[in-house]
Amino acid sequence: MLQEKLNDYHVILASSSPRRQLFFNDLEINFEIRLKPINEVYPTNLKHSKISDYLAELKALPFKEELTEKDILITSDTIVWDNDQALGKPKDAHEAFQMIKSLSNKTHEVITSICLTTKTEQITVNDITKVTFKDLLDEEIEYYISNYKPFDKAGAYGIQEWIGQIGVTKIEGSYFNVMGLPVHLLYQVLNEITA
């Protein structure tokens, strides 16, 4: 099993996301959280999964020089792709409202990229999930924002929270991807790296 394979490695998760940390715990992976500040800016010519791939790799850059032979660094980035543009994390309640309103009554894509970096190689993979929202009422959106403060979430919502429970009518792909980590993909690539 993966846990035994990872006994010879030191896994570093470069994420402050409590959801991603929970997934690592659920997979029974021993890991260390190591954070470095990064300016999450990407070239404007990038589209779709190339954005999240770029940002996941960008987050690994500050660690490159300090990785040892047995380190596996894991960085990740999630975007919401809607109307041919990337929605990141909202700056305030007004922006959060505009984001959720734009997702109402249609289907968007959630893209999460995972970058696994060792001393000698780097592998970046991504997963795409289609999420459909019902026609959300303004008061439902306002209630969610004021009670759940989704300012740390791409697209201004967490599917596992109230808005997802009352608003999501269809999902195609990995549910966990929408929460911020395609766990099946992480498991697969870690197994490949440690084979």
- Residues annotated as part of the active site: 77
Q: Which residues pair with 73 in a beta bridge?
A: 12, 117
Strands 85-87 and 107-117, by their bridges, are: unpaired
Q: How far apart are CA 97 and CA 145, in angstroms?
A: 7
For residues 87 and 117, is the Cβ–Cβ distance under 8 A? Answer: no
For residues 165 and 159, is the Cβ–Cβ distance under 8 A? Answer: no
Q: Which residues pair with 124 in a beta bridge?
A: 115
Q: Which residues pair with 116 in a beta bridge?
A: 74, 123
Q: How far is residue 112 from each of residues 14, 81, 108, 164, measured CA to CA in Å?
A: 15, 11, 13, 18
